[in-house]
Amino acid sequence: MSVLYFFIDGVGIGERNKTNPLYRFGLWKHLIGLKGLTAQKKIMKKNYSVIPVDSTFGQKGLPQSATGQTALFTGLAAPRLIGGHVTGFPGEKLSEMILNHSILKQLKEKGLKITSANAYSHEYFKTVEEKKKKVSASTLTIQAAGIPIRMLEDLEKGNAVFMDITHHLLKTRNSGFLEISPRKAGMNLINILNQNDFVLYEYFWTDYCGHRGTLKEKKEIISHLNAFLKTIVKKTDTGKHTIIVASDHGNIECSKSRKHTDNPIPLIVFSKKASVKNLFYHGVKELSDIPNLIIKGFLSRVLK
């Protein structure tokens, strides 16, 4: 059995009205129904479960990316451990947590074949080195495991997925890349999943659009996400493989503000196996529980 850990930035459980773009444009409605991303209670179905998960950790202020993602990628209650929420990219303390407790590192040490599906450019790492810039929590998570990072050369061969799914951003940079359909990107991700025990994929355009995007842009990315995940779920045998979708905090679900929200995030587990759904349905209360249960699932062979 393989596990896809699909991290989607800035998606919370919002209201059931038109101020919520996820409800208005029906994010994943063909997979979990229109109520799936507005339900304040757990949902258990034959092929999936949806679990509202706290992202506040009992701390004041709105949940933020650096601490929320550290929790999602390490199993540590980062906001509680450092006494608050931290925006942007991880600083020294959070970076140390990730480098020591990265889920990719932990699973690799247990003998599993792990990878990240995201494609990076050489220019990105050159800029990081020259300008001494911080990197994202997901990048640190990969680096901590000491595994090969997929580059644009891999993307050209269909052996990676870009962060916007369709390569639109690459096309605007005159990179020579042509846009691809969300379905094609989904099939590429399935191929990567079939070659590994555990795959991490990050999509952060939802958070970006929540902060800065127009309604038209939000509608477009929701359309991409619908086709992308529908392809992955429908073309994957979820009796053998598990697809886990999680976010770090709310944002795009509320058009009344361009700030993050303290709404619970939806944890979506696609699996036909009751033991897999029960593992998360009964065990997750806050973000840091998710990676810990993934590791527990592999060790107990629930996810094997």
Check residue 89 and report its DSSP letter: S
Task: Tell which residue, 269, 207, 264, has the closest CA to residue 233.
Answer: 269
Instruction: Check residue 171 and give its pLDDT.
Output: 81
Q: Helix, strand, coil proportions of the chain in percent (round to 5)?
A: 40, 15, 45
- 117 lies in some domain: yes
Check: CB of residue 202 under 8 Å from CB of residue 161.
Answer: no
Alpha-carbon torsion (98, 61, 34, 26), positive or negative: negative
Instruction: Check residue 258 and give its pLDDT.
Output: 84
Q: What is the pLDDT of residues 230-266, one digit of tens each?
A: 999 999 999 999 999 999 999 999 988 889 999 999 9
Domain hosting 100: range is 3-299
- 304 lies in some domain: no
For residue 70, give the CATH number of its domain.
Answer: 3.40.720.10
- 153 lies in some domain: yes
- Segment (H or E) for 266: strand 265-270
Task: Tell which residue, 60, 57, 19, has the closest CA to residue 38.
Answer: 19
- 111 lies in some domain: yes
What is the reported pTM? 0.97
- 118 lies in some domain: yes
- 109 lies in some domain: yes
Helices (H), the chain: 21-24, 29-32, 65-74, 78-82, 92-101, 103-109, 122-131, 137-145, 152-156, 168-172, 182-194, 205-212, 215-234, 274-281, 289-299
Instruction: Check residue 262 and give its pLDDT.
Output: 94
Residue 33, sorted as left (phi over 0), alpha (psi -120 to 50) or beta, turns out to be left
Q: How many domains is the chain built from?
A: 1
Residue ranges of the chain with per-residue pLDDT less than 50: none
- 156 lies in some domain: yes
- 106 lies in some domain: yes
Residue 46, sorted as left (phi over 0), alpha (psi -120 to 50) or beta, turns out to be alpha
